[in-house]
Amino acid sequence: MLSCQERLVESQLRIDYNQTGFAIAVLFSGDFESQYQIKLKGKKSSVLGEFILNRDEIIFTPIIPFSVGENYEVFKNGKLYKEFSISKPENQIQPKVIAIHPYNDTVPENLLKMYFVFSKPMQQSQPILNFITVTNCLTNKTEDIFLSLENELWNTDHTELTLWLDPGRIKQGLIPNEKLGIPIKKDNIYEIKISKKLTDAEGVELDKEYIKKIIVSERDTKSPSVNNWKLTIPQERTKAPLKIVFNESLDAFLAQETIQVFLDENKLIKGEFKLSKKATSILFVPNVLWKKGRYKIVIESRLEDLSGNNLNRLFETDLQAKQSYRTSKTKVIEFVIQSSFSLKN
Amino acid sequence: MKKIICTFSLLVAILVTVAAANKTENSSLTENFITGNPNIKSIYRLSFGPEGILFIGDSDSATIFALDTKDNIAKNKPENIALDSFDEKIASALGTTVKNINITDMSVNPISKNVYFSIQTKNGTPVLLRLTNGKLENVSLNNVSYAKTTLTNPISKSPKTKGYYAHRRWAISDMKYYNGKVFVSGLSNKEFSSSFSSIPFPFNNKQDFSTLEIYHAAHGRYETNAPIETFDITTIKGKEFILASYTCTPLVLFPIDKLENGKHIKGRTVSELGSGNAPIDIISFKKGKELKFFLSNTDTPVKRINLSDIIDFKGSMTKPVVTRELGRKVGGVKAVNLPYVNVEQMDKYDDNNALLLIRSEGHLSLQNRSL
């Protein structure tokens, strides 16, 4: 019994698709005595999988689903018996690039990493850098600015990709820096192109080619300082957002996971953070109305700016040198919400 | 519904392996194994233990699986392997094209000399294939005899550390079975992230976990964050050592008896094999009385290092290296470049041959070579 969707391809041959659109089996009429083989058209080797005979029907389940756009042949006792192809799923949804961080056009010369967010889980078989090209618009030459890693940095859903600009080239004094120079240079403009040929996990291509231009400004040599952040404090008995304005763009992913708001000493205020597009400010909307009282914003020191400088130290810091800087796991900003009554009076 | 086993060679092969299973049925190593679907999420590392037991490193679930392949009929003189366009052969066997597959590791069964390949497919489904007498077979991951153990302190993949959880794939960077233990290198969730675990096998829920520190002479600094990429285990004057290779490319010794649970261990850097490069696999052969290590690399040829040279190197590299060889900073124990480049996978095939998966003219060829 087949519980999944079946599509009629031609008389006496059907393809079984699962709910996510993968072609997981082929079914055709057959008998017990004959030998069957499934081959990718034009190839010598048989496709590995399992054959099952159900009454007069042969069911072949390959180890991995048949590939979209490929043609297959069924051989019976060594002779071509049937052919089939895997067409693109109906109502196919093409993956999109839904965000690239940093959002800004202008980035520091020592930019450390970029994030690419996709609308669907993406393919895992080919190196991502096969699909991303970077061109220096001034020289019109393609350049390798991203660090190639054997194990790429994807989230578990395979929808978010982190690409590092080679830290060894950014850190001054290291061999890659001396040998190859920094990945992106001040006053240059780079065009980062994501090919339309990049596919999702189902083999469906991106809806279009994506281009992100970055203009390179000077090196960022300062750690973010929470002392420079500006707050817009909401009023009591409202759900107005608490606005925190950083004095620069921060790492978009870290900014959303390193900040918490507490009432009094340690009562965590639950709510939702919303980062601005350029990651220069964040809004916090509590789940319940603000109460009067003393609040503190606790920020984990691992929060970084675009150049990997965190709240404790610069990316360039030599961790083995005698510490001339003060470290702490968190930084704190305090604020008070006063009684609306007392404000009016 | 009945299976038409007799008509399909693929299933005949399964019968053959079932017949071979009898050999280890009473093995104490597999007596606690269970049969079923181990639910393997990813395969980034493969390594054989005794009796045809294959260890699978699943970084996604931070778990080491021990698979009873029941593939333990000894073959003393394996056939020569010379297969061009081997990536196309694998792709065809999976009914797809080369662009939809990625070979993540290769391991030779030291008993049968059959070669196992882990394949990452487009949608992330892990596949395990076996090359037997020139033919590829599927090794089922759905209904197998297995045991498993989960690493105690793997690098996190929780949303709380979103900026970093992409490193989870490094939870298991390499692993080897040695004298009743599975040794595992990788990244942990500890402050000193580079870690090493020794896990008794058969698994018993115990494991010793240490964090590691090395002097990286090409970088001129002590480092704790980068994982060991590949390692071997060797004996020097009766004492056992991990010979560990890191990216960019220090070679470091760690005495096994110092790798105690909860300890932070500093290694002894004995060589810098050239900056701007990452090691892939390390294997060793005895040539005459001399043990020699062979290291494959991303950006340099396969390198040969003599154990005697490591033994003769008494000190520890604690100062930056300045000597350059072909533009790369090198120092300490000398390595010899061999005429094998673009070697993407390497394992020991028999006592004289290595098996190499080499990229050439855009495709991968599989061949055994006496190094």
Q: For the segment B108-157, what is each residue's pLDDT rounded down to a tens digit?
A: 999 999 999 999 888 788 999 999 999 999 999 999 999 999 988 676 65
What ipTM, to 2 d.p.? Answer: 0.81
Phi first, then psi, for residue B279 (nearest 5°) are -75, 155
- Inter-residue contact B311 to B271 (CB < 8 Å): no
> For chain A, which residues make up each domain, given as ranges?
5-85, 97-217, 226-344
Q: How confident is the model at residue B19 (pLDDT cuts 50, 70, 90)?
A: very low
Q: What was the pLDDT predicted at A169?
A: 77
Tell if the CB–CB gap between B124 and A39 is shorter than 8 Å: no
d(CA A158, CA B123) in angstroms, rounded, equals 9
Please answer whether residues B268 and B236 qualify as being in contact, where contact means their C-beta atoms are separated by less than 8 angstroms.
Answer: no
In this structure, what token pair is assigned to residue A155? 């989230």
The answer to whether A2 faces chain B, any CB pair under 8 Å, is no
Mean pLDDT of chain B: 84
Question: What pLDDT digit, counting tens, does each position of B333-349 carry?
Answer: 889 999 999 999 999 99
CATH architecture of the domain formed by A5-85: Sandwich (2.60)
For Cα atoms B264, B270, B273, give the angle at the middle one, nearest 5 degrees: 115
Is A179 within 8 Å of B276 when comparing Cβ atoms? Answer: yes
pLDDT of the residue at B22:
39
What is d(CA B307, CA B254) in angstroms, rounded to the nearest whole number?
15
Residue tagged 């990493």 (tokens)? A113
Question: pLDDT category, B1, cuts 50, 70, 90?
Answer: very low
B165, A38: Cβ pair inside 8 Å? no
> Is the Cβ–Cβ distance between A26 and A14 less than 8 Å?
yes
Taking CB atoms and an 8 Å cut-off, how many pairs form between chains A and B? 165
Does the A97-217 domain belong in CATH 1.10.110.30? no
**Local structure of residue A265 (DSSP, 8 states):** T
Residues in chain A with pLDDT values less than 70: 1-11, 89-90, 150, 173-176, 317-326, 341-345
Task: State the fold for domain A226-344.
Answer: Immunoglobulin-like (2.60.40)
CB B230 within 8 A of CB B245: yes
Buried/exposed A49-62: b ≥16 CB within 10 Å, e otherwise: bbbebeeeebbbeb
What does the pLDDT look like over B147-189, one tens digit per residue? 999 988 676 654 444 444 456 667 788 999 999 999 998 876 6
Q: Which of A38, A125, A176 sits opposite B120 (nearest CB)?
A: A125
**Which chain A residue is nearest to residue B322, measuring alpha carbons?**
A175
pLDDT given for residue B12 in this prediction = 32
Is the CB of A52 less than 8 angstroms away from the CB of B3?
Answer: yes
Asked if the model's pLDDT at residue B5 lies above 50, the reply is no
Of A238-242, A277-281, B216-220, B262-266, the least confident: B216-220
Hey, which bits of B161-249 come out as E strands? Answer: 174-178, 181-187, 194-200, 208-216, 221-223, 230-236, 239-245
Alpha helices in B162-241 (DSSP H): none
- AA letter at B8: F
Contacts 24+ apart (CB under 8 A), B135-141: B136/A45, B136/A48, B136/B89, B136/B90, B136/B93, B137/A48, B137/B10, B137/B13, B138/A48, B138/A49, B138/A63, B138/B10, B139/B67, B139/B69, B140/B14, B141/B37, B141/B38, B141/B40
Alpha-carbon distance B313 to nearest alpha carbon in chain A (angstroms)? 25
CA B16 to chain centroid, in Å, comes to 27
Residue of B nearest to A159 (CA): B166
Q: What mean pLDDT comes out for the span B250-273? A: 88
| Per-residue pLDDT at A1 | 35
Minimal CA separation from A274 to chain B, in Å: 16
Banded model confidence at residue B289, pLDDT cuts 50, 70, 90: confident
Which pLDDT band holds residue B28 (cuts at 50, 70, 90)? confident
Nearest to A201 among B11, B102, B124 (CB): B124
Q: Is A3 on the interface with B (CB under 8 A)?
A: no
Q: What is the pLDDT of residue A318?
A: 57
The arithmetic mean of pLDDT across residues B59-79, rounded, is: 92
Average pLDDT on B355-366 reads 93
Subunit contact A35:B7, Cβ cutoff 8 A: yes
Q: Which of A33, A125, A199 lies at the smallest CB-CB distance from B121?
A: A125
Q: A54 vs B1: CB contact, 8 Å cut-off?
A: yes
Distance CA B188, CA A296 (A): 31
Residues B81-92, mean pLDDT to the nearest whole number? 96
Q: What is the pLDDT of residue A344?
A: 45
Q: CB–CB of B120/B90 below 8 Å?
A: no
Give the count of alpha carbons within 13 A of A259, CB side only.
Answer: 30
Our separate counts of H helices and E strands in chain B read 3, 30
Nearest to B125 by CA among B104, B144, B148, B147: B104
Among the listed residues A179, A183, A181, A177, the one whose alpha carbon sits nearest the alpha carbon of residue A164: A183
Q: What is the rounded distance in angstroms from the CA atom of residue B296 to the CA atom of residue B338? A: 10
In one letter, which amino acid is B291? L
- What is the residue-wise DSSP string for A25-87? EEEEE--SSS-EEEEETT-SSBPPEEEEEETTEEEEEESSPBPTT-EEEEEETTEEEEEEE-P
Q: Where does residue A137 fall: left (phi above 0), alpha (psi -120 to 50 degrees), or beta otherwise? A: alpha
Predicted confidence band of residue B90 (pLDDT cuts 50, 70, 90): very high
- Residue that is written with structure tokens 């007498």 in the block: B133
State the Cα torsion B35-B41-B44-B45 to the nearest 10°. -20
Taking Cα atoms as reference points, which of A250, A257, A255 lies closest to residue A306? A250
**What is the per-residue pLDDT for A80?**
95
Tokens 């599989």 found at: B366
- Decide if A166 touches B, using CB distance below 8 A: no
* Chain B residue numbers touching A33 (CB-CB < 8 A): 7
Residues in chain A closer than 8 A to B95 (CB atoms): 38, 40, 47-49, 62, 64, 66-67, 70, 72
Cβ B256 vs Cβ B270: under 8 Å: no
Q: Residue B186: its chain A contacts at CB < 8 A? A: none
As a whole number of angstroms, the distance between CA B60 and CA A92 comes to 29
